[in-house]
Amino acid sequence: MQIKPRVRIVGAERHQLAQVLAGRYAAGESIRELAVSVGRSYGFIHTLLEEAGAEIRHRGGNQRTRPTAASAAEAGK
């Protein structure tokens, strides 16, 4: 879905686009992937996702947690 460059998106069209992108983001697409597919900037997509109420993921994907002293002792048994 490409959007005309340098055209302001407002009203119902903006709301609809925000909902579609929020659904795709919740399904696992990154903000960068959405930006490329729509032809808009990372910042524009980020703003739309915030407007749609999407929970923005932290950077870097899944991070393994550091083992605690207790779990390290358990692993050493």
Q: Tell me the pLDDT tens digit for each residue of 32-68.
A: 999 999 999 999 999 999 999 999 998 876 666 666 6
Judged by DSSP in three states, 55 sits in: coil
Note the pLDDT of residue 5. Answer: 76
Confidence class for position 2, pLDDT limits 50, 70, 90: confident
Domain that holds residue 13: 6-58
Structural domain contains residue 74: no
Does the pLDDT at position 21 exceed 80? yes
Contact 22, 53 (CB under 8 A): yes
Predicted structure pTM score: 0.73
b/e per residue, 37-68, with b = 16+ CB within 10 A?
Answer: ebebeeebbbebbeebebeeeeeeeeeeeeee
Structural domain contains residue 66: no
Structural domain contains residue 17: yes
Burial level of 30, CB count in 10 A (0-12/13-18/19+)?
middle
Number of domains in the chain: 1
